[in-house]
Amino acid sequence: MSKLIVKGRQRLEGVIPVQGAKNSALPILTAALISKGKSVIHNCPSLTDTQAAVSILEHLGCSVVQLGHTVIIDSTCADGCEIPDDLMREMRSSIVFLGAVVARCGRAELSFPGGCELGPRPIDLHLQALRQLGLTIEEEHGHLLCHTDSPLKGCEISLPIPSVGATENIMLAACTAEGRTEIHNAAREPEISDLADFLNGCGAHIHGAGESSIIIEGVKALHGAEHTVIPDRIAASTYLSAAAVTGSDITVTNIIPAHLRPVLPCFAEAGCGIEVSGRSIRLTSPKRLGRIKSVRTMFYPGFPTDSQPTTMAMAATARGTSVFVETIFESRFNHAAELIRMGAKIKVEGKVAVVEGVKSLSGAAVEAGDLRGGAALVVAALAAEGETVISGVHHIDRGYEKIESALSSIGADIERTEDAQEE
Ligand code: UD1
């Protein structure tokens, strides 16, 4: 098992190019299944979650070639419509394969996606919407048996919550359905627009992605396309947090600054200087951060839940008290207990965490319990005195491409070790 060893208190300086967005790459890889032919996806991050998506595509009969950050998927001969349990459990977002497999084959057999560290993550909205499109879904012993005797039929779907995954599943299933589908209260995340751009490149007719109402005019079939995945706004905000807690001066490049608009005010409030220019953001941070009065996670364009843990790591050493309200997931403060081991003062009550900033954190042995919580431990470790040993690194590897290389390239003292005894 890997561990990250971090010696804190190093000043970071330099330029850090940001990887492609995990949360875009996964649905786009999935979408490549629907088109008959070859799709070329650039800027695909090398992550364990990407590998999991590739394994599912190969299992379904696609041929997949990976050349650096480009993934070439030939779905011409893909005729599989069953995804075994072990592949479904690899990642939560495997559930978007449901819409794609149904669009491709008219039937699908898969199990519920992997359990999650963030509390229960139901898929009722996905299933309800696909049923509205005409899919028959039987839920038996943890399996979903889905079929339709006639083509799916476009309809109006109003989502009670603007779920990212449900919006993606509907888009995937509806782009080759008969007639027009309207999604109301759709998710507006940039990754939704990126998926729509790829699907439109494949010949789909999707309008309004990025807004609350998305209209999909069904087409007969899709063809392959070439596409470049958008930059990862969450990875970018993680690296900005790393700079913020270390009194540093870094520039994140290869980003779309507008996608970071929801998080930038927090950095400014904490006393950081922010310069936006073209596709980069430079952050300079003071010796000690000021508090961030309150952070309330919301659907895009609100403050992203995925940046809440790394922002909490910033608040841990800020001057004053910060309050975090997590409105998206039920159990997304698991990192707080590990930050407390490092000397943070955090009180969690339900969906609220109160963080009283301390002067300094001290290195400790901590364990990442989920992806972004793990990133928060890395940020905290960079600020802490002494050495921090982070285990559970496989969670971090799901979403960050070689986090230790990225951070050491700008001056962090961080390395990965393999613990042979635990293997
Ligand atoms: C996606 C992102 C994840 C991010 C999240 C919220 C990917 C691969 N993952 O996850 O990183 O944290 O958006 O921005 O893109 N819900 C239901 N029923 C459903 C579906 C969702 O009740 O059928 C609820 C969830 O429990 C949660 C909320 O809706 O409380 C938002 O979930 P959703 O937007 O669906 O998140 P994901 O697509 O799973």
Task: Encode pLDDT of 53-78 as tens digits.
Answer: 999 999 999 999 999 999 999 999 99
CATH 3.65.10.10 domain range(s) in the chain: 2-19+231-417, 22-228
Ligand 1 mean position, distance from CA 381 (Å):
28
Lining residues, ligand 1, CB within 6 Å? 23, 26, 92-93, 121-126, 161, 163-166, 187, 191, 305-306, 328-329
The CATH H-level superfamily of 2-19+231-417 is Enolpyruvate transferase domain (3.65.10.10)
What is the pLDDT at residue 295? 97
For 67, counting Cβ atoms within 10 Å of its Cβ (0-12 exposed, 13-18 middle, 19+ buried), the class is exposed
HSE value, Cβ hemisphere, 13 Å, CA-based, for 20? 24
Look at residue 370 and tell me whether its pLDDT is greater than 70: yes
Which of 83-92, 199-208, 317-326 comes out lowest in average pLDDT?
A: 83-92
**Active-site annotation holds for 81:** no
Dihedral angle at the C-alpha atoms of 186, 191, 197, 198, nearest 10 degrees? -120
Sheet strand arrangement including 82-83: 82-83, 107-111, 143-147, 136-140
Average pLDDT over residues 47-53: 94
Pick the CATH number of 22-228 from 3.50.50.60, 3.65.10.10, 3.40.50.10880, 3.40.50.300: 3.65.10.10
Look at residue 420 and tell me whether its pLDDT is greater than 70: no
Catalytic residue selected from 62, 81, 105, 116:
116
Which atom from ligand 1 is nearest to the alpha carbon of 304?
14
Pairing status of strand 107-111 against strand 143-147: antiparallel
Residue 62 has phi, psi (to 5 degrees) of: -80, 150
pLDDT bucket at 18, cuts 50 / 70 / 90: very high
What is the pLDDT at residue 208? 98
For 2, counting Cβ atoms within 10 Å of its Cβ (0-12 exposed, 13-18 middle, 19+ buried), the class is middle
Look at residue 125 and tell me whether its pLDDT is greater than 70: yes
Ligand 1 mean position, distance from CA 371 (Å):
14
Average pLDDT over residues 165-176: 97
